[in-house]
Structure formats: structure tokens, C-alpha cells
Structure 1
Amino acid sequence: MSAVPSSATPSTGAAPWYAGLGDFLKGEADAWLFVLRVALSFFITGWLAMRMGLPQPGTAMMTTIIVMHRQSGMVLAKGFYRVLGTLVGAAAALAIVALFPQQREPFLLVMALWIGACAAGATLHRNFKSYAFVLAGYTAAIIALPVISTHPGQVFDSAVARISEVMLGLVVSAVISDTVLPVRLRDTLRAAVRGQYANFLEFVREAVQGELPRERMEQAHLRVVRDAVTLEDLRSSVIFEDPEARARSLHIQQFNQRFMAASTSFQSLHHLINRLMRMDNTDAAQSLVALYQPLGNALQSAASLAPEALATRIHAVHQALPDRAARLREGLADRAQAEDFEVGTGLLLRFTHELEAYVQARAQLLDRVVASDGVEQVHFVRGNDHVGAGLAFIRTTVTMLLLGAFWIATGWPMGANAMLLATIFSGLFATVPNAVRLTVRMSGGYLLGLVAGYACEFEVLTRLDGYALLVAGILPFFIVGPYLTTRPKLAALGLGYAMGFVSILALTNPMVFDPQHFFNDSLSQLTALAAALVSFMLLPSVAGSPWLRRRQMAALRAQVRLAAQGPLPGLRHRFESMNSDLVHQIVVHTTPGSEDSRRLLAWALAVNETGRALIHLRHDVAREPLPGPLHKQVDAAVAALADFFQQPSRHAWWRADQQLRQASDAAREEAGQRGVARQVLRHLRLVRLAMVDDHSVMATYIVATDPTLEELPRAH
């Protein structure tokens, strides 16, 4: 599995000055179409809210800002989870007010605990599921806080009004995004599926034919992780947009799981061959290269072949492998060389079987008729850190308690407003790295929005009458925010501007122009932003921090214990998806090409290779039990491996190596009598070759003798 030198790069000519003009114009057109959809949603929602006599049209209009997205599927997904969060938050508000209708102190305590719990829940989920937790906390506050001091009995009316306003904003946003020149998320999903499929097949073909630069081989695992997580994120959102995508959801999950399985097996095979070459076991390595050569020929022009035809080619290669391997094995006289060749043969058989299944899954996605019969039920399991959630709970709860105490002590009429906005920012930024910097950027945009709101409200709207003129007066100020969100570097500034502008405008019917209330409301909102900023400075978000990366690396290594001890049903899917999610969480906060990035990649490959070997070993033993003594030795080796990955040390490595040796010797003695012992020997041999590789991440732990003996005092 050789690779071409990294210097083999194609030459490129200078592009003409106008080459990027088309892309620029297309980008600008997409941005302004997005602004058009947001503006239509915003103003239609406001008009309907006023026509329906809702008490706070501004809340409905703010909803359109919060759920805005350039793709319709994302708007629908975000809206769905906002509905869930709103309903749960409304129920929580009713319950808390019912418990403490006239006692502000215990009410604020329980409310702070609820908001903190919602912020913690947000850190344990991805995408818009996280957003639903934020909304559950924010909705409870927006319903209960305004009425607790004056009219607690109106909490039910407040809940009905807020739910009605939010639902109106969601419905209008969904309809506009789905009908006015929509950008379909399903197109992005289909492109992601096509890209993953074509790129992986081409990667395998180039690798087995020695046409791939070495650095691309090293980075392939990170690309696999990114593609797997991206596809799952898209699938979980597109089901809200497209009925066909909903019907094919299980097929997409199965396609993604088979992709992860095949990529892991291929990487194990690639590293085994490189390892054998470094160990001067070149005969076995060259025999394996000759063994997989027909696979490279089968993948020629794979992108232009129908998946069914390609699956037939791969199946033929898989069927011919045992006979071809037997002939090649005859040329290996050395027992160790023959054993290493058998390890590679087993990996290649597994990989070709998984590659065929992956191609067949692609064929199922292309079928016109959607059939769920025979589709494996799989789930993408996430890897979470509950300590980070605990810190988010403490930070948010303390912030809410301090603001509540300030409200009670001062009797500030706008104290409830300050708590409301602090709830939003504390929840939204609990899951992001460097929350202080993002809060500063959002605050800058928010301040600009407040200034624009003042100019719009008191310099423009006071001179206009009627909804049509109101739209004309607000529109020039409003479109700045949505447009800025289309620019990645200015997205936080644009979102802050839009939220600040809409929040301070607080449109009502009839509109009331009160400069004193305006400045008090502005002060309360800036106080909330300052409180959120200080809370993130005193107790920073752990997302992306070195401390959390170390914990995530430990969790990644602990996946080997899951492979060694977890329940076998569904274990492979759970193992691979959790690995992908953990690696993705770490790599997005790691500098590409850095030492941390290389070490992450090395551990991820070691965990994948060892974990998959242990899972297959356990499955083989479950199908055909081993003799008692051999079973005990294999269990001891598996446990020692789990201990080493859980807490790497030289002593743990030495103990795992000793247990692997003993279990391998015992399995070798039984290999002639029991087929399962031969399979077990292959798995153990594969793991041990990785453990003794002095070019792997385990190299620093390799020792010749038990290091604990070196620490004992010498006899005189």
C-alpha cells in the first residue's frame, strides 16, 4: 500500500481577474434572497399578530429572527425544536408560579435552577436539540417573570399569549422559507452522500494502487470523521423538510454506519502493511499487496458504474480471496510471516465484505421504491462530557441568582427584562468555545441594534402612520442584520444587531413612543449582556478548552473498555459513532497540523483498530465458545488492553503485552483443532503488532521488562 511522494502536485496556471466574479455575484444573489425571505417572514408575522390582537407582536417577530436560516430544512428543524422548547418551558413556568405565586425568593431560586438545568442540557446535545433546551429555559422566564411581581394569576394567560406568538412566527417562517425561492437542505444532503461515496471509493482505489500522497493517507481518518458527522447532522435536519428523506432516514443511517465500518477496516489494513514493512517482514507485506491488487482493478471507473454493478465486482473479488490467499501463503515458509499474512487476509476479507455492503447501501438510496424490510436499525451515538454540563449549570444558575437578588434588593422595574436576556445569552453560548469573545461580538452588534432602534423609532416611525409606512420605515434599518449574518466573519455581529434592533423596537398595536421606557429597557438589556459576559469570564465555557480536550481524549481511549465489556448487540455501531463524534469534537478545536492534532489522530487510529479487533473477537467467541483455560486467558488479555487504554503507562503496556503473548500462545496451540481459536489468534496478533510498533502512539510506553521491578531496591 505504497504512496506517491508528497511533492507530486499538479501545476496550476494563474486565474484571470474575472474568474471569481461569477461566484461573487451568485453569493450576493443568494444573500439578498435570504434577506428577502427573512424580511417577508418578519413583516408578515407582525401584520398577522396585530390583526389577531396578540399582546406582544414583537415576540412573534423576534421568533422569525431566531429561526432564520438560509436553508428551508434548517428553518423547519429549528422551528420544530423551538415548539418543543416553548411548550416545555410554558409547562415549567406554570408549575413554578403555581408553587410560589407570592414568594419571589423561592420562585427565583427554582427558576434559576430550571434555567441552569436547561443550559446544562444544551451542552449535551447537538444542533437544534441543544437549542430546544435553551428555549425551555428562556420561555419559562419570559412567561413567568413579567407576572410574578404584579399579577401571578395571569400566568396562564401569559403562557397562552407567548405560545400563540411563537407559533405564529414559526408558521410564517416555515411557509416563507419553503415557498419563496427556497434553498433545499435535501440538495445539500444528496451532494454530501454523493461526495462521501465518490471520495471514499477513489481514496481506496488510489491507496491500493499506490497513487496517493502520504500526507493524504495520514489525514484520511479526519476526513472520514468529518464526513460521517456531517452526514448525520444533515440527516437529522432534512427529515423535517422532505417526506422522501424521512422515508429514507434509516437507509441513510445504515449507509453512514457502513461507511464508518469500511473506513476503519481499511485503515487497519493500511497500517498493518506499513507496520510489517517497518518490521522487515516484507515478504508478508508484499504478499498482502499482491492479494488486494484485484480490488484496485475492480474499483477502476467506480464513479461511473452503477452501485449494483460495482457491488458485483467487489463480491467477485471477495469470493476469490481465500483461494488467492492460500496460493500466496504457500510462498511464506516462516511461521511468523504466515501468521502476519493471515492477519492481513482476515482484514482484507472483512474490508471487502464491508465495502460491498456500503456500495449496496448506496444502491438502496438510489432505488425509486423505499423499502424498510431488511434495513438495519442503527443509531448515531454521541459522546458527551457531563462535567462540562455541570459547569454550565453552575455558571447559569449563579448568574440568574445574582440578577434575581439584585432585582429584589433594588426593586428595579426592569430587573425582569435583564434576567430574560441574560437567560438567552447564557444558554446560547454555553456550548461554544471562547464564549467571551463571541459575547463581545454579539454585544457590539446588539449595541448597534439599540442605536438603530432609537433612530428608527423616534426619528422615523413617529412621522408615519399605517402598517405599509411602518414597513417602509423599518426596512432600511432591519435588513442590515440578516445581511451581515450571511458573512461568516460578521455573522455574530449581524445576529446581535438583529436581536438588539427587534428587541428594543418592541412593536405593539397601537405603538407607544416612550423615551424614558426606551432608555430603561436599553439599560436592562445592556446589563444582561454585561452579566453574561462577566459570568463567562469568571467561569469560562469548557468547550474547546485544553482541559476538556484532555477529558475527551481520555473518553476516546476509554472506548476500548466499551469494546471490551459493552453488550454485544449494536456495540460496533455505538463504538464507531461515539469515536467519530469524540474525534470531531476535539479536532474542530485543534490547530491542523499541530502536535495536538497529530497525537489525536494517532490515538484515534489506535483506539479504532484495537476496539474493532476486540469487538470482532468477542463476536467470534460468542458464536463458538473457547475452551475454559483459553477463554480465561483471552479475557485477561482483553481486560489488560482496556486497562492500558484507560490509563496508559509503561507498566500497563507491559502487562497487556504479557497477557497478549500468553493468550496468543494458548490460541496457537488450539488453532489446529478449533477454527474459532484461529480467528482469535488473528485478532490478538493484530492488536499486538500495533502495541509493539515503535512508530505508533504506544512507542513511549514500550518496555522490555516490568518497570515496577526496576523501582525495587537492589539487594546488597
Structure 2
Amino acid sequence: MYFISRLHLRFAFKLAFAIVLAMFVGFHFQLETPRWAVLTAAIVAAGPAFAAGGEPYSGAIRYRGMLRIVGTFIGCFAALFIITLLIRAPVVMLLVCCIWAGFCTWISSLVKVENSYAWGLSGYTALIIIVTIQAHPLLTPQFAVERCSEIVIGIVCAILADLLFSPRSIKQEIDRELDNLLVDQYRLMQLCIAHGDKEVVDKAWAGLVRRTTALEGMRTNLKIESSRWGRANRRLKAINTISLTLITQACETYLIQNTRPEFVTPEFRTLFETPVETAADVHKQMKVVRKVISYAGEKNTPVTISSWAGAVTRYLLLKRGVASNVRISAVEEEVLNQEVVVKVQSAEGHHAMINFWRTTVSCLLGSLFWLWTGWTSGSGAMVMIAVVTSLAMRLPNPRMVAMDFLYGMLVALPLGSLYFLVIIPSTQQSILLLCISLGLLGFFIGIEVQKRRLGSMGALAGTINVIVLDNPMTFHLNTFLDGALGQIVGCFLALMVILLIRDNSKERTGRTLLNQFVSAAVSALTTNKNRRKENHLPALYQQLFLLLNTFPGDIDRYRLALILIIAHQRLRDAPIPVNDDLSAFHRQLRNTADRVISASSDDKRRRYFEQLLAELDIYQEKLRIWEAPLQVTEPVKRLAHVLHKYQHALIDA
């Protein structure tokens, strides 16, 4: 408990120092609006802590800062371009900027989650610039340069604070997780060989998928922590694929025994009954497993157990290298370059389009509200709308993010009033007292941010935004009230748009994901050597993880996806006869499977899926004619059976 409290306090001091340093530098160099530097430092430092639910690991703040710089520069260039083209038509210029914000949200919904922040930021940065310079459009270049400079200063201050307060390395966590993951992989294989309870097996493999995905996230953190972990990063990237292979081989062992209980011989059942507690136990047990496999020979060893044992051997080799971070040996280099990993194709196209309309419509409503009412802080409300919708859309629960902002802005009204009316006027003559007062604000909110308290991030950003930190400082109550109320109104309108434009893409995304699994399984039917070297497992399991998050608790859907992943992996290694007849039919099968995914209507999708089923029946007959071995005919028959059995889930669900 003491350890957790100490980490909370350390990050609170880190956040307070970043805020104070940004404010001091801003006033020292006579920046016109030091508020932007302070706000940037607070958001860059607190954002990763809120996401992690504690002090972020080393490199997370630096990476977020780099994304903010990239997003700000993209937004500034976009604003300059829009203003240059449409400066004579202010309303059209505002309309185009709203569309740009929606476009950036659309892009951020399709790229990797960790990179989406930059695109979301670029959307509302352009809007902030265009809204701010409406009265003086000729000052746009100067304002853009000033904003970029202030933001860079804030980011540098946040990074310096992170470095000074002993950033927490993730390397030890990775080493510990590699050991624990290996033990649980062995236990999953024990469950599958023993053909235990289906629900227990489902829970075990689903947990391993989540932990393997989490390990990949740790690898990303390690990559941005320091360049000295480059070799460990390469090994961890390969371990991710190996871990997914182990899950696949173990689950295939379980599934095959559903129809062929004799698939695993008593000798191997007895061998895997020995319990393991540590990674050293697994290492010791694997020596025995390899000896038994060598003694039994290839014909008497189940193919999945043989493949699984080879994958564990590669895992142990690379794990040792990750721990020591020594130079990569020739054997390791061969393992690392063994396969070409195929990148994942996003299945969230419809979800991204809904996000585009949410951001665009909410920004347009904010513009109409501003132009219709003529309210001086209507521009502030419009900016808040863009900020909330741009940042909320990529997250799993946009409504809760919007509510977090709304609660935070409601808290910022009384808290900002205290600072604006009492504290800052009393301390503005002393930079030391001003630093202490803002440092205390950052310290206490920093503790709440780590607890992921609803409204804490919004309160931090909202309070800094409404208190006067300009140069020179002025205190006009009307300006403060307009700014605070504008934030609240903007967050409220954004929440209303999110609630009214409902996201109905969940079922469509799920169906697209399942059809992508079907396409991947069919694409494994090839005799092309280069295509057979392509490793789709990381991409498929990334899609499976998205399925786990989209449909929590739907174990039947996960099981179907896993069966299709297993089919892909088994067909990829199957000794398919090489001839022109089968090769031509493989291309036809892949083409039909792609049409199922890209079908624009349910009728077309159903027609193409029925065509795929018919072609698989023809393909099985061709395999019989060409005397394909059991290693080919059995997985193809199993795939055709699964597609027939679950065609309703794959077409209409």
C-alpha cells in the first residue's frame, strides 16, 4: 500500500513541476499567452497517467508529446491552407474547417489507437486557429507560429519533469510477464491435452489472448523508452507471434479431440500431467518433452504437439535474449527473419464514418449556435465541441469521455472562480506564490487523475483554460464567466450529438471481423511459396482482441473466430498438391471470399457466401481426385463444416 501511495505522490509532484516550469518559462520569455504552454504541459503529463490508472511508464509522456507536436503542426498547416483559399468567404471557411475536423476524426478511427491522438488533435487545432483569428485573419501566420512555440515549450517542460522525477521503466514488468506467460501457455496445453471443461479452456485462452496483446503494448512502451532496447524490441515482436502460435496449437489440439479422441496418445497425456509453477519448471519439462518427441518420431507425435514444442523452444531462446539484451545470435536472427508478418486491415470503416458525422455535425451545430447567438464565448463552446468529439470518438465509450469533460467543466467553474477571484489576484505580484498556487492545483488533481476519477482530466484542463494566465494578466469577470460557461455549453452540445447520432456499427463490425477470419482461412489455400510464408496470426489475433472488446462475454462468437484462425494456421502448413488446376481454383476461392467482405448489401453477401460454400464442396472433390493427404483434406472438410454450421452468424448477425 505504501508503494502505491509513493508512486501516486511522485507523479503528483511530477505534474505540479511540469505546470510550474511551463508557467515560469512562459512568463520569463514574455510569451503572449503562457496559458497554452501550461495547458499543454498539464495535458501531456496527465493524459497517459489517466489512461494507465497510475504513473505512466518511461517514454509514454515523451511519445504523447511527440504526437501532440505532429498533430499541432498538421493542424496549423491545414488552417493556413484553408484560410489562404477561403479568406474571402468566412462562413464557407468555417464549414470546410468543420469537415476537416470530421475527416481527422475519421482517420483517427482507422489508424492504430496509440497514433490516433495526433490526428484528433490536428482536427481541432485548425478549428482553434480559424475561430481565433476571425477578427484579424491577416495575423494567422503569426498566431500559428506562436501557438506551435508555446505548445513545444509545454511539451518540453512535461518531458523534463518526467526525466527529473525518475521515470518508471517497464523492462522489469516485461521480464516478469514473459515468465508468467510461458507458465500459463504450458497450463493451457495441459488443459487442452486433458480435454478438460470447455468453459475453463475458453477462459484460459481468452485470458492469454488479452495478456499477449498487453505484452505487445508493453513492447511499444519499451521501444519509446530508450533506443538501447532495440534488440529486446525485435525479440519481443517475434515473441508476440510465437505466443499467438502457442495458443492456436493448444486450442487446435482440443478441437481435434472432439472428433478424434485418440489423436493424443496416452504417452503424451501422461507426459503433460506434471504440474508446473515457474518458468524454470517449464524449461525443465520441455527438455523431457523434446526427448519424448525425438524418441516417438514424427509419425507417432501429434502434429500440433510437435509444432507447439518447437514454438516453446523459440520462445525460450528469445526470452533469454530479452532478459540479457545481448547481441542477437545467428540462430536468433534466423528465428526473427523466419516469416513476413502481414499488417491488419481495419474492420471499423462504418464506425469511422459514424465518428466523422458525429464530429462534423457537432462542429456545424456549434458554428450555427455561435453565428446565431453572437455570444462572445460561442467560439469557445465550438472549440470545446471539437475537442470532445475528436478525442472521444476513438475510445471504446465516447459517451463516458464526453461526460468526463462535462463533469470536469462543471468542477472547473467554482475551482476556476476561486483562483480567478482570490488566489491569482493575491499572488500575481510574486512569481513564487503564483508557482506555489498552481503547483498545489496540479499536485492534488494529479492524485485524482491516477485514480481515474470521473471529471479529473476535464477539471484540470478546464481550470487552467479559464483562469487568466496571459501576459499581461487582466481580470474581467465577464470574460471569465463567458469562458467557463462556453466550456460547459460546448461539452453539453457534444454529449447531445454523441447521444443522438447513435453508433449502430457494432453488429456490422462484428460481422466484418468474422468474414475477415473466413477470408484469411481461405487465403491459406495456396501453393505459392511467398504467400505461404506470410504470417497472418498477429493481424488475426488483433482482430480477435477487437472482437473481445466489442462483444464482451459473447464466448460463442470468440470460439467461432478461434476455429477460423486455427483453420488458417493448419491450412497454411498443409502439404497441398502443387498443380495448375488447384492453383487456379485457389485464386477463385480467394476472389469469392473477398467479395463476401466487400458486398454492399445483405443479399449480395448471402449470394457470394453460398457461392463460396459450393466452391469448397467442389474443391474437396478436386482434392480427392488429386489424392491429397489427410493433413489437407481434414482441415478443409472441417472449414467447410464450420462455414455451413455458422453461416447465419457470418451473413446475418
TM bucket (normalised to shorter chain) is 0.7 to 0.9
Q: 2:130 aligns with which of 134, 140, 144?
A: 144
1:538 shift after superposition:
1.8
Give the Cα separation in 1 of the matches to 2:113 and 2:179. Answer: 23
Q: Which runs of 5+ in 2 are unaligned?
A: 50-54, 599-604, 649-653
Q: 1:614 aligns with which of 565, 571, 588?
A: 571
Does the alignment pair 1:108 with 2:94? yes
Give the Cα separation in 2 of the matches to 1:508 and 1:112. Answer: 28
Superposed, 1:349-360 pairs within 5 Å as: 349-360=306-317
> Aligned pairs, how many?
625
Q: 1:497 aligns with which of 440, 452, 459?
A: 459
Residue matched to 2:541: 580
Does the alignment pair 1:59 with 2:36? yes
Does the alignment pair 1:289 with 2:265? yes
Give the Cα separation in 2 of the matches to 1:410 and 1:479. Answer: 39
> Relative to structure 1, is the Cα distance of residues 91 and 153 closer, same or farther in structure 2, using a 3 angstrom cutoff?
same
Q: 2:353 aligns with which of 390, 402, 407?
A: 390
> Relative to structure 1, is the Cα distance of residues 379 and 449 closer, same or farther in structure 2, using a 3 angstrom cutoff?
farther
Superposed, 1:278-427 pairs within 5 Å as: 284-285=262-263, 288-290=264-266, 292-293=268-269, 296=272, 303-304=279-280, 315-322=290-297, 325=300, 345-371=302-328, 373-374=333-334, 375-376=336-337, 378=341, 381=344, 383-427=346-390
Q: 2:437 aligns with which of 473, 493, 508?
A: 473
Q: Secondary structure at the match of 1:684?
A: helix
1:227 shift after superposition:
2.1
Give the Cα separation in 2 of the matches to 1:516 and 1:566. Answer: 74
Does the alignment pair 1:524 with 2:486? yes
> Relative to structure 1, is the Cα distance of residues 627 and 456 closer, same or farther in structure 2, using a 3 angstrom cutoff?
closer
Can you list the C-alpha shifts for 1:399-453, whole angstroms capped at 9, x where unaligned?
A: 2223223333444333332222211101111123442343123311221112200
Q: Secondary structure at the match of 1:509?
A: coil
Residue matched to 1:177: 162
Residue matched to 1:223: 207
TM-score (norm 2): 0.86
Contact 1:198/1:303 (CA < 8 Å) preserved in 2? yes
> Relative to structure 1, is the Cα distance of residues 689 and 53 closer, same or farther in structure 2, using a 3 angstrom cutoff?
same
The answer to which of 68-77 and 351-360 deviates more is 351-360
Residue matched to 2:633: 684
Letter in 1 for 2:376: P
Q: 1:164 aligns with which of 130, 145, 149?
A: 149
1:521 shift after superposition:
1.1
Give the Cα separation in 1 of the matches to 2:395 and 2:185. Answer: 31
Letter in 1 for 2:152: M
Residue matched to 1:484: 448
Letter in 2 for 1:663: K
1:529 shift after superposition:
0.9
Residue matched to 1:280: none
Contact 2:39/2:465 (CA < 8 Å) preserved in 1? yes
> Relative to structure 1, is the Cα distance of residues 201 and 417 closer, same or farther in structure 2, using a 3 angstrom cutoff?
same
Residue matched to 2:473: 511
Does the alignment pair 1:28 with 2:13? no
Give the Cα separation in 1 of the matches to 2:29 and 2:343. Answer: 43
> Relative to structure 1, is the Cα distance of residues 206 and 242 closer, same or farther in structure 2, using a 3 angstrom cutoff?
farther
Contact 2:105/2:359 (CA < 8 Å) preserved in 1? yes
Contact 1:122/1:134 (CA < 8 Å) preserved in 2? yes
Does the alignment pair 1:662 with 2:611? no
Does the alignment pair 1:93 with 2:79? yes
Give the Cα separation in 1 of the matches to 2:399 and 2:325. Answer: 50
Contact 1:73/1:186 (CA < 8 Å) preserved in 2? no
> Relative to structure 1, is the Cα distance of residues 276 and 697 closer, same or farther in structure 2, using a 3 angstrom cutoff?
farther
Give the Cα separation in 2 of the matches to 1:409 and 1:207. Answer: 66
Give the Cα separation in 2 of the matches to 1:102 and 1:124. Answer: 34
1:395 shift after superposition:
1.8
Can you list the C-alpha shifts for 1:195-237, whole angstroms capped at 9, x where unaligned?
A: 32232134324544x3966533122331232123212222223
Alpha carbon RMSD of aligned pairs, Å?
A: 3.3
Contact 1:483/1:494 (CA < 8 Å) preserved in 2? no
Give the Cα separation in 1 of the matches to 2:372 and 2:612. Answer: 60
Letter in 2 for 1:259: S
1:95 shift after superposition:
1.4
Letter in 1 for 2:240: N
Does the alignment pair 1:122 with 2:111? no
The answer to which of 351-360 and 531-540 deviates more is 351-360
Q: 1:626 aligns with which of 562, 570, 578?
A: 578
Residue matched to 2:251: 267
**Larger Cα Rg: Structure 1 or Structure 2?**
1
> Relative to structure 1, is the Cα distance of residues 172 and 637 closer, same or farther in structure 2, using a 3 angstrom cutoff?
closer
Give the Cα separation in 1 of the matches to 2:379 and 2:196. Answer: 61
The answer to which of 400-409 and 76-85 deviates more is 400-409
> Relative to structure 1, is the Cα distance of residues 398 and 251 closer, same or farther in structure 2, using a 3 angstrom cutoff?
same
Can you list the C-alpha shifts for 1:372-404, whole angstroms capped at 9, x where unaligned?
A: 844326466363311211121122112222322
Contact 1:82/1:135 (CA < 8 Å) preserved in 2? yes
Can you list the C-alpha shifts for 1:12-55, whole angstroms capped at 9, x where unaligned?
A: xxxxxxxxxxx3x4333322222111111111111111111222
Does the alignment pair 1:41 with 2:26? no
Contact 2:102/2:359 (CA < 8 Å) preserved in 1? yes
Give the Cα separation in 1 of the matches to 2:4 and 2:314. Answer: 39
The answer to which of 214-223 and 126-135 deviates more is 214-223
Residue matched to 2:602: none
1:639 shift after superposition:
7.6
> Relative to structure 1, is the Cα distance of residues 137 and 244 closer, same or farther in structure 2, using a 3 angstrom cutoff?
same
Give the Cα separation in 2 of the matches to 1:88 and 1:661. Answer: 53
> Relative to structure 1, is the Cα distance of residues 52 and 378 closer, same or farther in structure 2, using a 3 angstrom cutoff?
farther
> Relative to structure 1, is the Cα distance of residues 298 and 473 closer, same or farther in structure 2, using a 3 angstrom cutoff?
closer
Contact 2:40/2:151 (CA < 8 Å) preserved in 1? yes
Give % identity: 18
Give the Cα separation in 2 of the matches to 1:110 and 1:638. Answer: 41
Letter in 2 for 1:536: I
Give the Cα separation in 2 of the matches to 1:442 and 1:202. Answer: 44
> Relative to structure 1, is the Cα distance of residues 476 and 642 closer, same or farther in structure 2, using a 3 angstrom cutoff?
closer
Can you list the C-alpha shifts for 1:630-674, whole angstroms capped at 9, x where unaligned?
A: 656777778888889996899669636633542342243xxxxxx
Q: Secondary structure at the match of 1:43?
A: helix
Q: 2:557 aligns with which of 600, 603, 606?
A: 600
Q: Which runs of 5+ in 1 are unaligned?
A: 1-22, 278-283, 326-343, 669-676, 703-716
TM-score (norm 1): 0.79
Q: 1:446 aligns with which of 391, 409, 426?
A: 409
1:58 shift after superposition:
1.1
1:187 shift after superposition:
3.4
The answer to which of 392-401 and 113-122 deviates more is 392-401
The answer to which of 211-220 and 234-243 deviates more is 211-220
Give the Cα separation in 1 of the matches to 2:285 and 2:325. Answer: 19
The answer to which of 293-302 and 445-454 deviates more is 293-302
Give the Cα separation in 2 of the matches to 1:697 and 1:651. Answer: 10
Residue matched to 1:12: none
Contact 1:310/1:359 (CA < 8 Å) preserved in 2? no
